[in-house]
């Protein structure tokens, strides 16, 4: 499981300023990868590994690929909409990040390279798709529509078992939740800790203070995560090993080394923790990994496909998704991979 997603979910954005974006019509020529093509297009300066590679005839159900010289990293459906609403990507579930020659681009479900890997892009929670230096921001067509430099910063949140209080860490000071100006519409993922009074001369002190600088404290590590409602009250009493962001009304949660899902509104268990890995729901489908491989389940926890893929990305809808087999990555019709009878 990519823990970068977890680290991002632990944060609440408090202050955002955005540099005005100037639109342009700059885009990229796209090349479609269909069953008759066996490789993603090479970059502007082709590398040997980017040359087409021979692959077997596509399996039944493949509508794009499969190809071996790209790796699908994640569907853009796995990310919350960027906070700058004018830059929101309404159909981002049709797009996925892919890597080629060590760099990251964007591809759609038709096999079109929307942004070439040479641009080496990533997801920014404020502006969406952007390059490493955030000098370019892209829309869903791969057009450059502005630049970054938004100046957003993130504030970790903690639940202190000593005081039973919820705190926001602002430049090292743990400020009580009810005295901050944080606004959020979704439940928050909060790190569980235990505070212990200390002195600034303590070699183990990491620079944290409780309420003000006159009360330095040590923070324990590895106590897990909890969910809290936007009003600061606990969603449930559970402490989880890991939590993924909410999607389609759910959180993916990990207990005893296995993943399941809980209801975002009630905190009740929807799918038991029984999977080795789990991705966020998109609509009524989520990709999960069992002992036999990756497959897809519904919101009720019902298995909707066989669990046989070597890799999987979140489904764009109830029927189409990027998956990996021995032949490589490709887009499949999930209905062509029914649940196998026992």
Q: What confidence tier does 215 reach under pLDDT thresholds 50, 70, 90?
A: very high
Is the pLDDT confidence value at 288 over 90? yes
List phi, psi (to 5°) of 86. -70, -15
> What is the layout of strands, in order, in the sheet containing 62-67?
62-67, 328-333, 320-325, 311-312
CA distance 67 to 71: 9
Q: pTM (2 decimals)?
A: 0.79
Tens of pLDDT, residue by residue over 116-160, are 999 999 998 888 899 988 899 998 889 998 876 655 556 789 999
Does the structure show a pLDDT above 50 at 54? no
Tokens of 166: 């919820």
Give the tens place of pLDDT for each residue, 220-244: 999 999 999 988 899 999 999 999 9
* pLDDT greater at residue 251 or residue 46: 251
If we measure between CA atoms, which residue out of 304, 342, 340 comes closest to residue 320? 304
Tell me the C-alpha distance between 46 and 124, whole Å. 28
| Res. 6: pLDDT tops 50 | no
Least confident of 14-18, 228-232, 269-273: 14-18
Question: Is the bond leading into 66 cis (omega within 30 degrees of zero)?
Answer: yes
Q: Which of 52-56, 65-69, 271-275, 313-317 has the highest mean pLDDT?
A: 271-275
49 — pLDDT class (breaks 50, 70, 90): very low
pLDDT of residue 82: 73
Q: Taking 90 as the threshold, does the pLDDT of residue 174 lie above it?
A: yes
* Strand order, beta sheet including 277-278: 277-278, 286-290, 293-297
Distance (Å, rounded) from C-alpha 297 to C-alpha 250?
Answer: 13
More confident residue, 101 or 22: 101
What is the pLDDT at residue 84?
59
pLDDT of residue 37: 40
Residue pair 266/275 in contact by the 8 Å Cβ criterion: no
| Tokens (6 digits) for 274 | 């029984």
Buried b / exposed e along 130-164 (16+ C-beta atoms within 10 A): bbeebebbbbbebbbbbbbebebeebbbbbbeeee
Q: Which residue has the higher pLDDT, 285 or 183?
A: 285
Query: In angstroms, rounded to a whole number, what is the distance separating the alpha carbons of residues 234 and 227?
Result: 6
Which candidate, 298, 284, 289, places its Cα nearest to that of 324? Answer: 289
Q: What is the structure's pLDDT at 61?
A: 65
Rounded-to-integer distance, Cα 167 and Cα 30, Å:
48
DSSP state of 335: G
Question: What pLDDT band is residue 14 in, cutting at 50, 70 and 90?
Answer: very low
Residue 149: the pLDDT is 64
Say how many Å lie between the first and final Cα of the chain, rounded: 29
The band of 250, judged by pLDDT with boundaries at 50, 70 and 90, is: very high
Q: How far apart (Å, rounded) are the C-alpha atoms in residues 304 and 297?
A: 5
Contact 280, 77 (CB under 8 A): yes
Query: In this structure, what token pair is assigned to residue 240?
Result: 């989880």
C-alpha to C-alpha distances, 316 to 71, 83, 123, 247, 322, nearest whole angstrom? 17, 21, 18, 13, 9
Decide: 11 and 182 in contact? Cβ < 8 Å: no
The CA-based diameter of the chain, rounded to the nearest angstrom, is: 69
Determine contact, residues 124/83, Cβ cutoff 8 Å.
no
């Amino acid at each position: 499981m990519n823990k970068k997603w977890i680290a991002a979910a632990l944060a609440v954005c408090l202050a955002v300023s955005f540099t005005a974006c100037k639109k342009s019509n700059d885009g990229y020529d796209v090349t479609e990868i269909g069953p008759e093509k066996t490789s993603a297009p090479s970059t502007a300066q082709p590398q040997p590994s980017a040359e087409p590679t021979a692959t077997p005839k596509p399996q039944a159900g493949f509508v794009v690929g499969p190809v071996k010289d790209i790796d699908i990293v994640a569907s853009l459906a796995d990310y919350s909409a960027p906070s700058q609403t004018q830059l929101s990507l309404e159909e981002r579930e049709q797009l996925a990040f892919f890597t080629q020659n060590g760099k990251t681009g964007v591809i759609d479900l038709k096999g079109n390279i929307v942004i070439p890997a040479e641009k080496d892009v990533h997801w920014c929670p404020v502006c969406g798709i952007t390059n490493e230096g955030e000098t370019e921001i892209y829309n869903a067509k791969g057009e450059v529509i502005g630049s970054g430099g938004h100046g957003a910063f993130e504030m970790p949140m903690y639940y202190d078992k000593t005081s039973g209080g919820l705190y926001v860490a602002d430049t090292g000071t743990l400020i009580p939740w009810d005295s901050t100006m944080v606004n959020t519409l979704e439940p928050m993922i909060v790190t569980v800790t235990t505070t212990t009074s200390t002195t600034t001369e303590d070699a183990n002190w990491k620079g944290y203070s409780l309420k003000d600088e006159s009360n330095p404290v040590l923070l324990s590590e590895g106590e897990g995560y909890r969910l809290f409602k936007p009003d600061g009250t606990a969603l449930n009493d559970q402490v989880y090993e890991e939590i993924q962001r909410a999607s389609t009304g759910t959180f993916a949660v990990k207990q005893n080394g296995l993943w399941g899902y809980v209801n975002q509104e009630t905190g009740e268990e929807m799918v038991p923790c029984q999977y080795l890995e789990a991705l966020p729901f998109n609509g009524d489908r989520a990709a999960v990994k069992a002992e036999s491989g990756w497959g897809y389940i519904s919101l009720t926890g019902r298995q909707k496909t066989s669990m046989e893929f070597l890799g999987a990305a979140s489904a764009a809808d109830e029927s189409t998704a990027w998956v990996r087999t021995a032949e490589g990555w490709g887009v499949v019709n999930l209905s062509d991979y029914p649940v196998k009878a026992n």
